[in-house]
Amino acid sequence: MGYYNEHYPPNPHRKRRNSWLPLFLGVVIGVLVMAIAVPRVKEMGTAINSDVTNQKSAEEQLVSLDISTRITEVVEVVSPTVVGITNLQHRGDFFEQQQESEAGTGSGVIYKKDSRYAYVVTNHHVIEGADDIEVLLNDDTVLEAELLGNDLFSDLAVLRIDGEKVDRTIEMGSTESLKVGEPVIAIGNPLGHMFSGSVTQGIVSGLQRTIPQDYNLDGRADWQAEVIQTDAAINPGNSGGALINMDAQLIGINSMKINEEAVEGIGFSIPIDTARPIIDELEKTGQVRRPYLGVEIYSLDEIPRLEWAETLNLPNDVNGGVYVWSIEERSPAALAGLDRLDVITHLDGKEIMNMIDLRKILYQEKEIGDEIEITYYRDGERKNTTLVLDVQR
* Residues marked as catalytic: 125, 155, 239
**Rounded Cα distance, 89 and 237, in Å:** 17
Q: What does the DSSP 8-state code read for residue 9? A: P
Residue type present at position 94: F
Which residue stretches of the chain are H helix?
Answer: 20-78, 124-127, 272-285, 305-310, 332-335, 355-365
Q: 364: number of CA atoms within 13 Å, CB side?
A: 14
**Rounded Cα distance, 72 and 352, in Å:** 49
At residue 198, what are phi and psi to the nearest 5 degrees?
-65, 145
Q: What does the DSSP 8-state code read for residue 245? A: -
Other Cβ atoms less than 10 A from the Cβ of 150: the count is 23
Contact between 338 and 324 (Cβ < 8 Å): yes
Contact between 158 and 146 (Cβ < 8 Å): no
Contact between 337 and 295 (Cβ < 8 Å): no
